Structure 1
Amino acid sequence: MDIKYYIFLSIALFVIGIVGVLTRRNTIIIFMCIELMLNAVNLLLVSFSKMHHIANVAKDPLAGSDGQLFVFFIMVVAAAEVSVGLAIIVMMFRNTHSIDVNFLNRLKH
């Protein structure tokens, strides 16, 4: 497949994630949209890595593995973000019995 299909799919997923973060008030849905944006970036990194590997396979057999390494680190950071974020959401729900983002503004004062 051509690289432009992967780029288009990645941009579409990233835009859906941005729209979800900016329009939703539920914190769990916001976290899901952030994960969708991270997966869009992962898709783009892997597709560029594959394209680079195909172009340079004769010169260097390990060419193009950098993008896949970055994807691994992004997945580790995303897993840590989800675990910390869900712990914060659970504690917020236990204290306020709501997971609405606008309710957090009232907790400042």
Structure 2
Amino acid sequence: MINLQTFMLISTCLFCIGIYMVLTKNNAIQVLIGIEFMINAAVINLVAFGKYDRYHNSGQIFALFAIVLAAAATAVALAIILNVYRRFKTIDPAKIDALKD
């Protein structure tokens, strides 16, 4: 049986990988993947704490909402990235410096 500390260790590793990707990558899609890693780490925490809650399933319910919100945020972010690519012909966030003409 997996204990709570194992869940927390896996979640911490996943969150650290996400932070590393957000801070070091210069590709907007890779940055988005890093953000998704961090959201998934939070979902693991919610499910893990919900597993050890004896009376309520609030952790799983919050995790379900987090998954739905992450999917919606990913769809919006990908649409923004596609529009930025059409306009600037790059997805490197450092090279995009103008908001309008």
Task: State if a TM-score over 0.5 links the two structures.
Answer: yes
Pairs aligned (count)? 99
- From 97, 100, 107, give the equivalent of 2:98: 107
Structure 1 unmatched ranges of 5 or more? 57-62
C-alpha deviation, 1:108, in angstroms: 4.3
Contact 1:50–1:64 (Cα < 8 Å) also in 2: no
Normalization by structure 2: what TM-score?
0.92
Structure 2 unmatched ranges of 5 or more? none
The answer to whether the aligner puts 1:75 opposite 2:67 as a matched pair is yes
| Matched-pair identity in % | 36
Q: Could you say what the CA RMSD is over the residues aligned between the two structures, in angstroms?
A: 1.2
* Distance of 2:44 and 2:19 partners within structure 1: 16
What is the match of residue 9 of structure 1?
Answer: 10
SS of match in other structure, 2:93 = coil
Contact 1:51–1:64 (Cα < 8 Å) also in 2: no
Q: Deviations over 1:44-94 (max 9, x none)?
A: 110111011xxx3xxxxxx23101111111111111111110001001111
What is the match of residue 59 of structure 1?
Answer: none
Normalization by structure 1: what TM-score?
0.86
Question: CA separation of 1:33/1:44 partners in 2, compared to 1, >3 Å: closer, same or farther?
Answer: same
Q: Which residue identity lines up with residue 100 of structure 1 in the other structure?
A: D
Q: Decide which structure has the larger Cα Rg and report it.
A: 1
